[in-house]
Amino acid sequence: MRSYKVVFSPAAVDQLGNLAAYIAEQAGRKTAVRYIAKIEQHCKSLKTAPLRGRARDDLFPGLRIMGFGKRVNIAFSVGANTVIIHGVFYGGQDIDNIVADEKI
């Protein structure tokens, strides 16, 4: 079975940090740590099956979006040996505009 390396862009790391801070404020640090760990694990599961989610070539060539739970969308792309997590979007964030503005 082929295995890909999963890497998080600086923007995705920042988004996870912001989400963790928000959840910690609302529900406590332990809840935030557990939830972020689950998101990270879901992202890392792309190492063996990276072509999940739906293609969003309209936003960026090769971009894919997959959901996590009810409120998180993960933007990523698949290269020859690497999956890059470009962003982790929570709630009703406008992925189309964020991706267009940041030109990932």
CA pair distance 21, 94, nearest whole angstrom: 20
In degrees, to the nearest 5, what angle opens at C-alpha 31 toward C-alphas 92 and 22? 40
Contact criterion met (CB below 8 Å) for 98 and 89: yes
pLDDT at 60: 87
Please name every residue paired with 67 in a beta bridge, in sequence order, or none if there are none.
Answer: 73
pTM assigned to the model: 0.89
**Mean pLDDT over residues 28-48, rounded?**
97
pLDDT at 18 over 60: yes
Domain ranges of the chain: 5-102
C-alpha of 92 from chain center: 14
For 66-85, the pLDDT digits (tens) are: 999 989 999 999 999 999 99
Contact criterion met (CB below 8 Å) for 36 and 88: no
Contact criterion met (CB below 8 Å) for 39 and 46: no
User: Any idea which fold 5-102 has?
Assistant: YaeB-like fold (3.30.2310)
